[in-house]
Structure 1
Amino acid sequence: MSQRVEKQSPIEVVVVVLPESSIMSLASVLDPMRAANRVAGRQVFRWRLLSGDGEAPILTCGVPINVEGRFTTPLGGDLLLVIGGFNLHKHAGKRFVATLQECARHFDIVAGIESGCWLLGRSGLLNGRKATAHWEELEDFSQTFPALTVIGERFVTDGKYWTSGGASPTFDMMLHLITERLGPALALDVASIFVYDQMHSPTDVQPFVSLGRIEARDPELAGAIRLMERTLERPLTVAALARRLSISRRKLELLFARGLSISPAAYYLRLRLQVAHRLVRDSAVPIRDIALRCGFDSLSAFSRAYSREYQASPLKMRSLTRGETSLRSEVARGGGGNSLPVSDAG
């Protein structure tokens, strides 16, 4: 796409927000556009907020978002962004996907944010293209949509179809858009407003752990954490970690004690359990598969370690989480048995 530094008329944006989306993902879309208008001193972006059924979607934090109407045809513009979160099957049915397929034809760029990428996948719009998803879902995303080339980058642009793996990558994606459409100077000004000093390119890999300034302050510690991330399925001993990092075991232990007040072994286990915890709560991956993905040779060993960390077995945690999700969905629908399921409306 050629860079267009000036555009006299505002960039027309439609943002579709589904229930149980992240407020941070929504803010990462809206605030860069608001800041760009402020810095430019004119309306360089003009946006509309829509939902699948025209009602205010309730985000994961419980905040309802006022929208201008329902996502329906006819609709067109420069940029269409679809923000999704949990329980897509409840919030975006066949009619929503059909609307997405039709509307996509009338936008220059169509972007799926967080679980919005799954909707682009379901629509067939990404077939034969490169795409990404949140790092927790990359493997499932790839298996579900074999016609896609799934890569673990922060955000991916392939022609008019863009996908983003999370809230922070979405902020990067919006800065990338501002750079392309309005120039790098304005993008830098927008980043500066938010004191955002680590602008990423689309090819930067999604990390499990956001290290912030640790990478600059203590690169050896950062390197150790990145090595742990890469070896979750087959954890190394502390001695093997030290050898791979070309440092002594004693130095590795000092790095973690000084930087994180924890031993390398304890941090490694905690990292594996945190990844497992997200998969238990937020996915349908079988518990046994989660155990293997996170480096546990037996289900019983995984269950014991998980229970010590979270005071509940993986199965009990999943059961509790599903109960909470059902309650949130009922509240989002108004709590009554007289209203239609959201998927019927979308």
Structure 2
Amino acid sequence: MQPNAGRQSPIEVVVVVLPESSIMSLASVLDPMRAANRVTGRQVFRWRLLSGDGQAVMLTCGVPIAVDGRFSLPLGGDLLLVIGGFNLHRHVGNRFVATLQECARHFDIVAGIESGCWLLGRSGLLNGRKATAHWEELEDFNQAFPGLTVLGDRFVTDGKYWTSGGASPTFDMMLHLITERLGPAVALDVASIFVYDQMHSPTDIQPFVSLGRIEARDPELAAAIRLMERTLERPMTVAALARRLSISQRKLELLFARGLSTSPGAYYLRLRLQVAHRLVRDSGIPMRDIALRCGFDSLSAFSRAYSREYQSSPLKMRSANRAESPAAESGGMRAQSRR
């Protein structure tokens, strides 16, 4: 798609936001468009906010967002973005999905953001295509929609259907859109307004840990953390990590002590337990499977380590979380329950 800086009519955007969505994901959609209007000195984007019932939407942070109307037919435009968060089963029914299926025919681009990816998958719009979701639920997303090619990329564009795995990747996706529609100079100006100095390509992999400037300041420490991320199911000894990284074990220990005030073994265990904690709270995956997925060779070893970290057994934690937020019958973690 060639930049169309000469286009005079605004790019018409419809943003559908569901309750229990992230304010950061919403801002990552709206603010790049606002900034593009500002730097170009004209209204290059014009958008409407809609909700499933036409009422204000309460986000996860407790902030209500006013909308311009209800997501209903007829509807068309250039770009349709669907932002979803937790507990989709509470907020989306068959009518919403049918509306999405019909509306998609009348937009040039249709994008699913965070749990919005699940809605595009459920609607059948992504069948036979490449797509992504938030890194926490990539495996579940892949199992739920076997007709898709699920990638761990920050965002994925496959024809008119785009998917994004989180707030920061959504900002990258919007910069990508601005580059396509308005040219790279405008995209750079927009990124500069937000002091966003690390524009990502679609195929950059979603990290478990957002390292920020650590990668530039201490690349060896960053490489160690990335290696830990890739080996959660089969954790390595500290000595084996050091050998894979071609450094001494002593140097690896110094890197973690200096950069994170902890040991590599303690950080590795904490990373595995953090992933396990999300699975315990936000999924219905059996505890034994969670233990294996996070590198514990027995359920008892997992339970002991988890209880030391969170002062509660995994089963008690799951029961308490379900009492606060009843689980959905199926779907991804973000679609099921709120963290």
Give TM-score scaled by structure 1 length.
0.93
Mapping 1:47-58, distance limit 5 Å: 47-58=47-58
- Give the corresponding residue for 1:286: 286
- Give the corresponding residue for 2:102: 102
| CA distance, structure 2, for counterparts of residue 219 and residue 176 of structure 1 | 27
Map Cα deviations across residues 11-69 of structure 1 (whole Å, 9 max, x no partner).
10000011111111011101111111111111111100001111112111111110111
C-alpha displacement of 1:323: 2.5
Show structure 1 runs of 4+ deviating over 4 A. Answer: none
Mapping 1:208-223, distance limit 5 Å: 208-223=208-223
- Give the corresponding residue for 1:339: none
- Give the corresponding residue for 1:226: 226
| CA distance, structure 1, for counterparts of residue 285 and residue 23 of structure 2 | 25
- Give the corresponding residue for 1:343: none
- Give the corresponding residue for 2:266: 266
Q: Secondary structure at the match of 1:104?
A: helix
- Give the corresponding residue for 2:32: 32
Map Cα deviations across residues 199-256 of structure 1 (whole Å, 9 max, x no partner).
0000000000011010011110000000000000000000000000011100000000
- Give the corresponding residue for 2:143: 143
Amino acid at match of 1:9: S
Map Cα deviations across residues 152-186 of structure 1 (whole Å, 9 max, x no partner).
00000000000000000000000000000011111
- Give the corresponding residue for 1:75: 75
8 Å contact from structure 1 (residues 78, 109) kept in 2? yes
| CA distance, structure 2, for counterparts of residue 56 and residue 254 of structure 1 | 51
Amino acid at match of 1:10: P
| CA distance, structure 2, for counterparts of residue 5 and residue 291 of structure 1 | 53
Mapping 1:160-239, distance limit 5 Å: 160-239=160-239
C-alpha displacement of 1:72: 0.5
Map Cα deviations across residues 80-109 of structure 1 (whole Å, 9 max, x no partner).
000001111111110000000000000000
Map Cα deviations across residues 117-176 of structure 1 (whole Å, 9 max, x no partner).
000000000000000000111001011101100000000000000000000000000000
| CA distance, structure 2, for counterparts of residue 289 and residue 31 of structure 1 | 41
8 Å contact from structure 1 (residues 5, 180) kept in 2? no
- Give the corresponding residue for 1:92: 92
| CA distance, structure 1, for counterparts of residue 6 and residue 218 of structure 2 | 41
| CA distance, structure 2, for counterparts of residue 320 and residue 34 of structure 1 | 41
- Give the corresponding residue for 2:331: none
Q: Secondary structure at the match of 2:58?
A: coil
| CA distance, structure 2, for counterparts of residue 160 and residue 78 of structure 1 | 10
- Give the corresponding residue for 1:313: 313
Percent of residue pairs identical: 88
| CA distance, structure 2, for counterparts of residue 164 and residue 107 of structure 1 | 18
Amino acid at match of 1:236: M
8 Å contact from structure 1 (residues 114, 165) kept in 2? yes
Gapped regions of structure 1 (runs ≥ 5): 328-346
| CA distance, structure 2, for counterparts of residue 244 and residue 124 of structure 1 | 42
8 Å contact from structure 1 (residues 6, 181) kept in 2? no
- Give the corresponding residue for 2:276: 276
Q: Secondary structure at the match of 1:80?
A: strand
C-alpha displacement of 1:326: 5.0
Amino acid at match of 2:301: A
Q: Secondary structure at the match of 1:265?
A: helix
8 Å contact from structure 1 (residues 79, 108) kept in 2? yes
| CA distance, structure 2, for counterparts of residue 232 and residue 99 of structure 1 | 40
Using the TM superposition, name which of 275-284 and 34-43 deviates more: 275-284
C-alpha displacement of 1:270: 0.5
**RMSD (CA atoms):** 1.1
| CA distance, structure 2, for counterparts of residue 160 and residue 2 of structure 1 | 15
Mapping 1:291-302, distance limit 5 Å: 291-302=291-302
The structure-2 alpha-carbon separation of the partners of 1:178 and 1:249, relative to structure 1 and needing over 3 Å to count, comes to: same
- Give the corresponding residue for 1:304: 304
Amino acid at match of 2:27: A
The answer to whether residue 153 in structure 2 is matched with residue 153 in structure 1 is: yes
The answer to whether residue 241 in structure 2 is matched with residue 248 in structure 1 is: no
| CA distance, structure 2, for counterparts of residue 36 and residue 206 of structure 1 | 26
Q: Secondary structure at the match of 1:279?
A: helix
Q: Secondary structure at the match of 1:295?
A: coil
